[in-house]
Structure 1
Amino acid sequence: MYDYDLLVVGSANADLVIGVERRPAAGETVLGSDLAVHPGGKGANQAVAAARLGARTALLARVGDDAHGRLLLDSLRAAGVDPAGVLAGGAPTGVALITVDPSGDNSIVVSPGANGRLTPDDVRAAAPLVGSARVVSAQLEIPLESVVEAVRHLAPGSRFVLNPSPPRPLPQELLDACDPLIVNEHEAKVILGGDDGAGDAPEDWARALLARGPRSVVVTLGGEGALVASAQGVSRVPSVRVDAVDTTGA
């Protein structure tokens, strides 16, 4: 029934990464490692991860007609992602400027570039692609109205997954489609908008978000794992312990 297990509607960036002993303070210059350029972006990262796990995966995104765009297309093909939905042109490829300290923690500044030019018209033109996926996943490094347009073309019986990062208030149409809505602590608070009745515990945020319309909610808690909330209740899932090297894309 479905041509793809997963379609990701989202961003594709070139990650420009420098290792530093510590991040600079305001007005300070520090020396770092040699510059490394990697394919990245929340959308492309999700698509590559799913394809490497064996899922039939496609990406709907926009890159620039430039060297970074070609790097991304090559990396998607190499990972087994179908890039048929990746449009080129309109602006330079999005770029993330990333510093990583010895503990693996990072600081990131993103120039959206072509990601910001993925329009609702682009999504409407790709409606057959959206309707051919069992699961559609999105983030908010592309225009919000383009994500809303994607949910209007979901196949019957398919599932929509949203990680609203960077966070912003979400329209009801989008909240109602989420199964699950995946947020961290900061994203949960932004979407709840200072709701005084939301409580202070992650379990409270999960229940408050679920009451906003999603069919299920996941609240990620870093090293403490995650909470899953649905009509069946709230449960905690422990994290897998690893030695962090670089949290970019985690």
Structure 2
Amino acid sequence: MSPGTVVAVGGHESDGGRALGGLLDAGVPSVGGGRALLRCVRALRARGERVCVVPMTLGRDPDLAADAARTLRALAPDERAGTVLAAPFGTADHLVGWLRGAACRAPGDAALLVTAPSGGPYADADLFRIARLVRQYGRHRTVEVALTGGEPDPAEGVRRCLALGERRVVLLPAAWAAPDSPDPAHCRRGGPLLSPAAVAGVLDARVREAWERYERSGDDGLSRALSAAHSHSHSHSHSHTHEHAHDHGDAHAHAHRRADTAAPPRTAAPPALTSHRSPR
């Protein structure tokens, strides 16, 4: 049976899907959520195409899959019958692994500035935790964070690195959208995070898993995404003990071991809002 058409839905990590264009195959449309997703899927189903929607989060937009599920529930029954929602493209654990791989390609004597669009207080705080793990298991002395549309922004992030005595800064994107260099004299872009070939490999795995579940048990992925979002929301409505955060992360890690990059070792380190810098 034909795998049908893949639709990539993006959120704040990809500027509503616009930053995905150069990384996806020509036959994979990229759209934002809501009405844009609904129109795209309806048009494809009207042509008789089966559709697999993939939430293109790298791990910092946990609501993207649930938002897509709510949108797809508005489809008519005959449209729903040939539509599935895949698991998210990546998790925060995958993002740590991908960033560590990108860090290995950066000069060892440069500071790393992990950059991403601001995604709200929880997503932004988690980016500091992710950066801390990148420094912990890497060879770079200084790893800072910068948030496009947030604080500190990329220009401030570069200034912090220079103030710490670094001479060169590499912008390491933790999102599909990468910022321009705010100080070309001292920094350069280190992206993209994943090559088109790597993106295609992970995307293919997510699509294959989604159709296998659907054909095996009729699971279209919508209830699964909504349940995951409920669990995530529930965790944020209570006190954030380190033990709970560790269990929550492990659950995600075990659910996605089949991704092309293995999840890194986990630590009990809480989110840190200070510089991630080790002694020379």
TM-score (normalised: structure 2): 0.29
Task: Give the structure with the higher percent strand.
Answer: 1
More relative contact order in 1 or in 2 (CA 8 Å, sep 6+)?
2
TM-score (normalised: structure 1): 0.31
Larger Rg: 2
